Amino acid sequence: MSSYTPSSSAGGVGSADSAAPRRNSKRPKYSKFTQQELPACKPILTPRWVISAFMLVSIVFIPIGVVSLLASRDVVEIIDRYETECVPQNFRNNRVSFIQSDANKTCTRRLTVTKHMKQPIYVYYQLDNFYQNHRRYVKSRSDSQLRDNSSWNDVSSCKPEDDSNGLPIVPCGLIAWSLFNDTYNFSLNNQQLAVNKREISWKSDRDHKFGNDVLPRNFQNGTLKGGKSLDPTVPLSQQEDLIVWMRTAALPTFRKLYGKIERDLQPNEVIHVTLENNYNTYSFNGKKKLVLSTTSWLGGKNDFLGIAYLTIGGLCFFLALSFTVVYLVKPRRLGDPSYLSWNRNPGGH
């Protein structure tokens, strides 16, 4: 008997629902989904919302813009473009043959510190019109070879710099072959400024992409030297210049970290730079710049972010204002039936 109780109570529940489906009924079952009645918020872009959204953006963006701009302005940056000055006067018309010759390419530059520069001061070289992102260039490397000594002869992807005189090159490929080889020596008041070239590359690169048992072999042995030679006794994971260079840049104008000067520089101090102008950017009219820069929490000197924030914040503020003015002068009544197209021009169109 006890089994009867639940069933009868279930029947009671069923009969309470007036729409209880009959047996054999094809009546679709009710569900919020199939009846398209899922709970939803229906935001309507009312003038109030528009104005507040613009206002909100400007309130958030302007301070961020100010902070970013200040951070960027805090950064002291000295840029010296030297590719023309470092070519002797008599070679100015034929710079390519100068750079390819064995002439002495040492050149000295004077840099005046404009503002106090807090250590560490980063030394960059900046190249221009150099397509490190060219397809032929980007793929001309062998990651496995760089990483692992056992696959040192895996140079299949390195064409056309895969072997020299039939011997596989380590590191192979165009990227490594064209390694930047200008060198900078800094002195302040005739005193050598030490340039720290350690930890100028990303740690993940050093640890995972360049093996500490991979030694350069047959590098720059060809008839044509593309760039810097490597010390064949130092494993690649310690050749930080190479590691930096091998992280190819996104754009044809790029900076690469050369080293760090780990002392403060005072305003009006003059730094003498003795540089070896070895690298050939002359054939394609590329510029070369030497950059000394400090950093902020946001990196180097780059006003773009700050300006973009301020512009958008300002624009939103202006839009908010103008929408408010329009709203006050000629308010738009929400849901005015006279706006409806069939009310605007009766009788169709």
Partner 1 sequence: MSGWDAVNSPKSQPGSSSSRKTPARTVTLGRVQPQAPALRTIFCNDCDANMAHRYRGNSISTTKYNIFTFLPKGLYEQFRRVANLYFLMVSILSTTPYSPVNPVTNMVPLSLVLMFSLIKEAFEDWQRLQNDKAINNIPVDVLQEQGWETLQWKKLHVGDIIRVKQDEFFPADILLLASTNSDGVCYIESANLDGETNLKIRKALEKTWDYLTPEKACEFKGEVQCEQPNNSLYTFTGNLVIDNQTLPLSPNQILLRGCSLKNTDFIVGAVIFTGHETKVMMNSMNVPSKRSTLERKLDKLILALFCTLFSLCLVGAMGSGIFIDRKYFYLGLLENVEDQFNPNRRFMVIILTMLTLLTLYSTIIPISLYVSIETIKFIQSSQFINKDLNMYHAETNTPASARTSNLNEELGQVEYIFSDKTGTLTRNLMEFFKCSIGGEIYGAGMTEIERDISERKGIKVQEVQMSAGSVREKGFNFDDVRLIRGAWRNEPNHDVCKEFFRCIAICHTVLPEGNESPEKIKYQAASPDEAALVLAAKKFGFFFYRRTPTMIYVRESHVETMGKTQDVSYEILNVLEFNSTRKRQSVVCRYPDGRLVLYCKGADTVIYERLGIGNDDLNKVTRDHLEQFGSAGLRTLCLAYRDLAPGFYEGWNEKFIKAKSSLRDREKRLDEVAELKEKDLILIGATAIEDKLQEGVPSCIQTLSRAGIKIWVLTGDKMETAINIAYACNLLNNEMIQFIISSETDAIREVEERGEQAETALFIKEEVRKQLKQCLDEAQQYFCSPSGPKLGLVIDGKCLMCALDPSLRVMLLTLSLNCASVVCCRVSPLQKAQVTSLVKRGARKITLSIGDGANDVSMIQAAHIGIGISGLEGMQAVMASDFSIAQFRFLEDLLLMHGRWAYIRLCKVVMYFFYKNLAFSLTQFWFTFNTGFCGQRFYDDWFQSLYNVIFTALPVVFVGVLDKDISPSLSKKYPELYKEGVRHMFFKWRVVALWAFFAVYQSLVFFYFISATCSTSLDPSGKMFGLWDVSTMAYTCIVVTVNLRLLMMCNSITRWHCISVGGSILAWFLFIFLYSGITTPLDRNDNMYWVIYILMGTSYFYVTLLLVPVAALLVDFLYLSVQRWFFPYDYQIVQEMHKDDIQSTDPSELLESKQQLTPDEARCREISQLPKEVSRHSGFAFDSPGYESFFASQFGKYVPPKAWDVARRGSMRSKATPK
Q: Interface residues for partner 1 in 90-149 (CB under 8 A)?
A: 120, 122, 124, 130-138, 140, 143-144, 147
Continuous segment of H or E residues that includes residue 165: none
Phi and psi at 23, nearest 5°, equal -65, 145
For residues 13 and 251, which CB has a smaller minimum distance to partner 1 in the complex?
A: 251
- Binding residues with partner 1: total (CB under 8 A): 115
Residue 152 is a binding residue for partner 1 (CB under 8 A)? no
Residue 81 is a binding residue for partner 1 (CB under 8 A)? no
Q: Which of residues 275-294 bind partner 1 (CB under 8 A)?
A: 280, 283-285, 293
Q: What's the CA gap between 190 and 13, in Å, rounded?
A: 98
For residues 94 and 108, which CB has a smaller minimum distance to partner 1 in the complex?
A: 94
User: Which residues, at least 6 apart from 113, have a Cβ–Cβ distance to it below 8 Å?
Assistant: 76, 78, 265, 266, 267, 268, 269, 270, 271
Q: Which of residues 232-271 bind partner 1 (CB under 8 A)?
A: 244, 247-257, 260
Residue 310 is a binding residue for partner 1 (CB under 8 A)? no
Among 13, 224, 328, 329, binds partner 1 (CB under 8 A): 224
Among 305, 314, 321, 324, binds partner 1 (CB under 8 A): 305
Q: Which of residues 317-346 bind partner 1 (CB under 8 A)?
A: 319, 323, 326, 332, 334-337, 339-342, 345-346
Helices 304-329 & 47-74, crossing angle to 10 degrees? 160
For residues 185 and 253, which CB has a smaller minimum distance to partner 1 in the complex?
A: 253
Give ∠ CA 151-157-159 in degrees, rounded to 5.
120
Q: What's the CA gap between 87 and 91, in Å, rounded?
A: 6
Q: Which of residues 158-217 bind partner 1 (CB under 8 A)?
A: 159-161, 174, 177-178, 199-202, 204, 208-209
Among 1, 45, 328, 329, binds partner 1 (CB under 8 A): 45
C-alpha neighbours within 13 Å on the C-beta side of residue 93:
1
Contact 320, 47 (CB under 8 A): no
Contact 194, 130 (CB under 8 A): no
For residues 48 and 92, which CB has a smaller minimum distance to partner 1 in the complex?
A: 48
Closest contact distance (angstroms) between CB of 299 and partner 1 is 4
Residue 150 is a binding residue for partner 1 (CB under 8 A)? no
Q: Which of 282, 320, 267 is nearest to 91 (CA)?
A: 282
